[in-house]
Amino acid sequence: MHCLDTVRERAKSLWSLVVGLRVTGDNMLRPQITVHYPRRTVESLAGYRGHVQLVGKADNPAEPRCICCMMCVNSCPSACITVQVKEEAPAPEAPKPRDKAPAAPAEAVAGTAPDRAVEHGGRLIPRTRDGLVPPPEAPAAAAKSAARPAAKAAGKGEDKAGDKPVKKAAKKAPGIWSLDFTLCSLCGTCVAVCPVDSLEYSSNVYLAGRDRREFSGMDMLARLRAGAGAAKSGPDGDAPAGGEGAA
């Protein structure tokens, strides 16, 4: 009996060899997956993980969703992301909260248009996107902090109590968002940790350049604007005219 089982087992193994041949034979008859580059190209690959790029807002594709929380900067293992908040013009008069904008606008940072700042509680808060002043519940806190002497801009502890209601309305936007792709380890941590889903992978499979410097400081803001249909810019992202759609 045992030897019959062995024979049966062996016969099954031999049959599996034939099945294997059939599998590869079928494979040979199926169409090829290869795309003959450069005669043909792929449009985009859905799952392709290229470099990281910014995602525009739904109503304003040229502006990134980024809120400058710096989570991507801090979590990047290769330290290749540089984000700088769009700095606002410091109000020449001192602590008048959310009042009229200062007379002289500050200089632009990184080629973006100057924005108007509202000084509140000793900290400069950029205007909100649609230009509205911060919501009305701020006044109580504003009055409280107006009483305080003009503190240093980076006084975190001081501002904490008074800032909370105002923080809701004030949003940060990046003035510089730069990726050093030559250092990037393609881990995707930045995409994963972004709380507003402002980062996504590019699906450009044909990314190539002739110089390392084209990739050592990729200006993602310029790319976003270019992609949103604004003025074209090169891979180094010389900034297009003006900061349209800024705050």
Partner 1 sequence: MNLHTLAQSLGVALPLAQMVIGLVALAAFVGVNAVLLVWMERKVAGHFQRRPGPYEVGPWGLLQTVADAVKLVGKQLFTPPGGDRTLFWAAPFTAFLPVFVMLLPLPWGRALIAYPLNLGILLVLSFAGLNVLALCLAGWGSNNKWALIGAARAVAQSVAYEIPLLLAVLAVVFMTGSLDFAAIVQIQGDMPWQWLGATQPLAFVIYVVCAVAETNRAPFDLPEAESELTAGFHTEYSGMGFGLFFLAEYANMIVVSAVATSLFLGGWKGPVLPGPWWFLLKVYALIFLIMWFRWTYPRTRFDQLLNLAWKWLIPLALANLLVTAVLVKLA
DSSP-assigned letter for residue 197: -
Rule CB under 8 A: say whether 31 interacts with partner 1.
yes
Q: What is the DSSP string of 104-162?
A: SPPPPSTTPPP--EEEETTEEEEPPTT-PPPPTTHHHHHHHHHHS----TT-HHHHHHH
Report, in Å, the least distance between residue 245 CB and partner 1.
46
Rule CB under 8 A: say whether 33 interacts with partner 1.
yes
Report, in Å, the least distance between residue 5 CB and partner 1.
17
Could you tell me which of 189, 182, 208 has the C-alpha nearest to residue 38? Answer: 208
| Distance from C-alpha of 119 to C-alpha of 101, rounded to nearest angstrom | 9
Residue (15 or 144) nearer to partner 1, CB: 15
Interface with partner 1 by CB under 8 A: which range of 14-22, 43-51, 223-231, 236-244? 14-22
Rule CB under 8 A: say whether 23 interacts with partner 1.
yes
Interface with partner 1 by CB under 8 A: which range of 13-21, 110-118, 133-141, 229-237? 13-21
Answer for which of 2, 36, 40, 210 binds partner 1 (CB under 8 A) is 36
Place of tokens 């700095």: 87
**Residue 117's beta-bridge partner residues?**
126
Answer for which of 2, 12, 30, 156 binds partner 1 (CB under 8 A) is 30
Instruction: Return the residues of window 51-110 that contact partner 1 according to CB under 8 A.
Output: none
Q: Angle 206-210-214 (CA atoms, 0-180°, nearest 5)? A: 85
Burial pattern 101-129, b for ≥16 Cβ within 10 A else e, equals bbeeebebbbbbbbbbbbbbbbbbbbbee
Rule CB under 8 A: say whether 38 interacts with partner 1.
no
Answer for which of 24, 38, 130, 241 binds partner 1 (CB under 8 A) is 24
SS3 222: helix
Rule CB under 8 A: say whether 20 interacts with partner 1.
yes
Report, in Å, the least distance between residue 11 CB and partner 1.
13
Answer for which of 1, 2, 5, 34 binds partner 1 (CB under 8 A) is 34
Pairing of strands 117-120, 123-126: antiparallel
Rule CB under 8 A: say whether 13 interacts with partner 1.
no
Residue (110 or 205) nearer to partner 1, CB: 205
Report, in Å, the least distance between residue 19 CB and partner 1.
10
Asked if 42 contacts 206 with a C-beta cutoff of 8 angstroms, the reply is: no
Asked if 80 contacts 184 with a C-beta cutoff of 8 angstroms, the reply is: yes
Answer for which of 2, 3, 12, 32 binds partner 1 (CB under 8 A) is 32
Query: For the chain, what percentages of helix, strand and coil (3-state, to nearest 5) are there?
Result: 30, 10, 60
Q: List interacting residues with partner 1 (CB under 8 A).
A: 17, 20-21, 23-25, 27-28, 30-34, 36
